[in-house]
Structure formats: C-alpha cells, structure tokens
Amino acid sequence: MWYAPSPLSIADLQRAAQRRLPPSIYGYVHGGSEDQTAMQANRDAFSRWRFLPRPLVNVSQRRFGVTLFGQRYNAPLGISPMGVAGLCAFEGDVALARASYEAGVPFVLSAASTTPLEKVAQANPDMWYQGYLPADQHVIEPLLSRVRDAGVKVLVVTVDVPIASARENELRNGFSIPLKLSPRLICGGMIRPRWLMSTFAQTLLKRGMPHFENFTAQRGGPIIAAAKGDHRAGRAAMTWNDIAWIRDHWPGTLLVKGILRAQDAQHAHSLGLDGIFVSNHGGRQLDGAVAPLDALPEIVAAAPGLTVLLDSGVRRGTDVLKAMALGAQAVFIGRAAMYGLAAGGQRGVAQALALLTREIDVDLALLGCPDIADLSPAYLCRADLPVSTELNQLNALMSAVPAAVF
C-alpha cells in the first residue's frame, strides 16, 4: 500500500502516512500541544546519550525477548494506547491488535477507540486496556466488570489527562474530537481519494458512523457528536484515593500511565500497583514537561521491584536500547505504530514493529551486548559530559539500584 521503495525506517513510514492521510488527520497523529516543545524534547533526550560499545564479545546469538507480568514477549516493544485509530485505517484498532499479536508484543487498547473492546480482544486475546477514568465509582465499577468479562488481564489507567490540552495545530487544521465536518476537514479528505475510499467510505458502508465504544460500560456517542455525558467529566477530580479503590476492585495487573516523578512511582508501588508507564503522553498534554527518558533513572532508583515501562518519542531501535539501559523493562511506541497503520493498515503496523525489532537485533550486536537483559548504564555516556565524569555518575546510579533491576 505504501510507495516504493519499501520503508527502511519509521521516518519512511511517517512520510508515507503524511502522503496518505488528510492534512487534518495527519496533524492529529503527528502533532503535540501548544508550541510542541515537549514533543521535541522527547527526541532530544535520546540524542543526549551515546553508546559505549564493547568489542570482541561473542554476539553470534542475540536474545531480546522480555517477560512482563508473567507473559513472555518476542521483543522489548509494545504499542501504546492511541485514540480514534479508525481514522487512519479501516478498523484500525483491530489492525493494531492483530499486528501486535502476530509479532508477539503487547498492545494497549485506548478507551478512545471506535471498535468494541470485546471484538478487539478476539483479535488479540492478550490485549491490555487503557482507561480514562472519572472519579466516580458508579462509572468505574461496571467498566471494570466489562473489561474483566472480555478476558483482559492488564488494566492501564492514564493519569496525565485531567482535562484536555491545548493542541493548537489540530485547531488550525480543522481537527477536533468530536469531529466537526468543517470545510477544511472535508476538503482535506477530498484531496486524499485513497484514504477517502479505503478508510472513510468503507467504514461508513460496513460499520456505519463510528462511535466511542469503550470509555465506559455503555456505548458512547458518535465521533461527530458530543459523547454521551462528556467522557472527560470527572477526570479532574481523580486522586490517588481513586487509584487505591481501583486496586482493591481490580483482580488483575494494574498500571498507571503518565508518571514523571520518583515520588509518584514510590506511591504507586506502595499502593500495590504492578507497574507504571513513564510518559508525557508523547508531548500531547503539558507542553514543557520533562522528557520521560530524563526522568527514568531517578524513577527506577526510587521504586525497585516496580515494573517500569517507557513511551514518548521512540523512533529507533537505539532509542529502545538506551531506555532499557537506563532501567526500563520495555518500551512502547505510539506515533510510530500509527504511521505504519496509516501507511499500510495491519501490514504497515507489522512493518513498523519489524523495522524496530531488526534494529534492536543489529544494535545489540554492534553494542557488544548479546542479551538485552544485560543492558545497564555502563553501556552509555552523556554526549555533553566527559566520559570519565559520566562513568562516575553512572556508577553511583548503579550502586543505588538493586542489581535485579538490571
């Protein structure tokens, strides 16, 4: 479905997605909030780290599978929750779910999805569910029952979206949620006839107008109208007390997503949570927020024994290795998967995962680390500090973290 030659990197998939999507929808997928400085900071954070490779190590056999919450996965990758994926490809939620299941990596279904979670769970029986939850137990409890009945074992509660952020680029492009059929949006669709027929028209003909299916236990409103009872209502009142209540009522694995402070990681651990996502929502919420990679070492040191996952800004296999060397147990992608989805549907998502997995394999060999479980800060140095100074700081960091973390 994409343009020749075949994509060699996530950047190639991004360019293919930009050519295929209407400008307003591409702006939604690609952009961040306000001045988009947090989004850029996420990429800059990876650039500040350099590798210290070890030569003359036997790397003829590489191992890069990981175990998360008792489940073995083929690669240290996962797909983060992303809303209204159906705007990028027909039944986009199902395409993401199937591609991740076939690749043997975790997938998190967004609450802002347009396919019933039960159907997505059939495509990927190992899927995780991400909730945007209000501080209302009468709403949360039936939703937990629905998610549990669908066979979902991992619940992810996003905590960095108490209210909607100011995404000026989306407004300038005529994009909003719920969708408004503005002249800019309509014209953008007309100039992308392949998207218009394969995604928009096919969805209307086969599925009707998409609805928000998974915010609560009941079906939500259509994406071109306000949701039944604003789906953002009540989130601003959520506190750690609500997370503690969910922990008491959710029998499976529980994570919170959107942690950037070591103290919050410690609090999550003290409440009996199983893990956290170190994330700034890909730079789509608070502009100017710290990059997750910069926050990661302190968080890992502060909460030993807690499973720490990272997303935001990941575009290369080297990004994955840097995050894992600093203590993340796995790394999740958002935009990278959506670029693949827009470029080629399920096949495009599979291509994105395959590209990153191949890079991880090659980069491990070049780094002189045949087993990803052996990654540690000793393989890194800061680009802006002398190596000797950085090694002293990394040794101090390593001594503060139990060896089992690495």
Residues designated as active site: 281
Residue 43 marked as a ligand binder: no
Q: Is 62 annotated as a binding residue?
A: no
Type of residue numbered 36: Q
269 is in an annotated binding site: no
Position of tokens 């190992």?
126
72 is in an annotated binding site: no
d(CA 32, CA 340): 19
Q: Does the annotation flag 335 for ligand binding?
A: yes
Please provide residue 142's backbone torsions phi and psi, each rounded to the nearest 5 degrees.
Answer: -65, -30
28 is in an annotated binding site: yes
Structure tokens at 254: 């529980």
Name residue 277's amino acid.
F
83 is in an annotated binding site: yes
- How far is Cα 241 from Cα 300, in angstroms, rounded to an integer? 23
Is 132 flagged in the annotation as binding?
A: yes
Say whether 158 counts as a known binding-site residue: yes
- What separation in angstroms does the CA of 234 have from each of 139, 144, 157, 327, 395? 10, 17, 14, 34, 44
Residue 100 assigned ligand-binding role: no
Q: What is the rounded distance in angstroms from the CA atom of residue 355 to the CA atom of residue 8? A: 7
Residue 315 annotated as part of some ligand binding site: yes
At 356, the amino acid letter reads: L
Whether residue 281 is annotated as binding a ligand: the answer is yes
| C-beta separation of 105 from 353 below 8 A | yes
Residue 312, annotated as binding a ligand: yes
Query: How many angstroms separate the Cα of 300 from the Cα of each of 14, 99, 341?
Result: 31, 30, 32
Q: Which two tokens stand for residue 264?
A: 């919050």
Do the beta carbons of residue 104 and residue 354 sit within 8 Å? no
**Does the annotation list 284 as a binding residue?**
yes
Q: Is 198 annotated as a binding-site member?
A: no
Query: Exposed e or buried b for every residue in 222-254, given b needs 16+ CB within 10 A?
Result: bbeeebeeebbebbeebeeebbeebbeebeebb
- The 8-class DSSP code of residue 224 comes to T
Query: Is 110 assigned a ligand-binding role in the annotation?
Result: yes
Binding positions for glyoxylate are 28, 132, 167, 281, 284
Binding positions for FMN are 81-83, 110, 130, 158, 257, 279, 311-315, 334-335
Binding positions are 28, 81-83, 110, 130, 132, 158, 167, 257, 279, 281, 284, 311-315, 334-335
